[in-house]
Amino acid sequence: MDFIDGIARIAAHISKRIDDMSDDDRVISMQNKIDDIRAGFHGIKFAGQRVKRGWSDDALWNLGYSELKGFAERLHEFAYKTHGVPCGYGDDKSKWLKPRDDDWEDSIAPFNAIRAYEDANGSIETSHEFNGHKTFKMPTVRDCGEDYCAWIEDVGYAADVLDEYIRIHDDITVYGNIEDIYGSDEAKRQLDALETEFQRVWKWIGENILSLWD
């Protein structure tokens, strides 16, 4: 009887809440329930589509940004994990993407290149000590190979530019904040500069798209 009484009390409470609602409130409440059910159904449907074909219909609503965002995420992961470099990538530096200083070859190599260097040559730990701890001599770009380091950096840089392009175009408040802080002229200059760099990066991606394998 306690269980039945409990159910009865809950039902009475719900009934009273409904009675206390205005007609408009009842309509809104019912519409919210319908929207929740519809959203749950769509979530299940989209999940099934992603399992079956790798993408779901909701991606079509904002296809350009969805693809750019997903591609940028994969480029970041590719730059972190890639073991190779396109044939001849170091032969023509005009094909490289990221701007570099004259002494770039003597700078510390990208992390992924250092990891590959250690795999081939052993630990970078030295016999020298500082405050009781062994020190490390970080491999340079020259040590790890200019073409390999350039490729890793260029892929990562392309991903960074895509990220920034998405960030500033997919959320209007981002541009508004830049305009508030720096003024409209500087905001427009930054937007124009980003557009120019995006187009340059997109061209580089097109030229190297078939080399993005590992």
Q: Does residue 114 share a domain with residue 200? A: yes
Q: Does residue 61 share a domain with residue 2? A: no
Compute CA distances 96 → 17, 46, 88, 91, whole Å.
Answer: 67, 39, 11, 10
Q: Does residue 200 share a domain with residue 172? A: yes
Q: Does residue 12 share a domain with residue 1? A: yes
Q: Does residue 67 share a domain with residue 164? A: yes
Q: Does residue 199 share a domain with residue 113? A: yes
- Tokens 């200059």 correspond to what residue? 189
Domain stops at, among 10, 39, 54: 54
Domain stops at, among 28, 54, 80: 54
Mean residue pLDDT across the chain: 85
Q: Does residue 91 share a domain with residue 40? A: no
Q: Does residue 94 share a domain with residue 150? A: yes
* Residue span of the structural domain in which 80 resides: 57-211
Tokens read off for 179: 């305009």
Q: Does residue 86 share a domain with residue 29? A: no
Q: Does residue 17 share a domain with residue 94? A: no
The total number of structural domains in the chain stands at 2
SS3 of the chain: helix, strand, coil, percent, to 5: 75, 5, 20
Would you give the DSSP letter of residue 126? E
Q: Is the pTM of this model over 0.95?
A: no
Domain stops at, among 54, 72, 88: 54
Tokens read off for 100: 């570099």
Q: Does residue 151 share a domain with residue 45? A: no
What tens digit of pLDDT does each residue of 35-81 get? 676 677 677 877 888 888 777 887 788 888 889 999 999 999 999 99
- Backbone dihedral angles phi then psi of residue 116, each to the nearest 5 degrees: -65, -35
- The proportion of the chain whose per-residue pLDDT surpasses 90, expressed as a percent, equals 53
Q: Does residue 144 share a domain with residue 41? A: no
Residue 191 has pLDDT above 90, yes or no: yes
- Residue 14: the pLDDT is 57
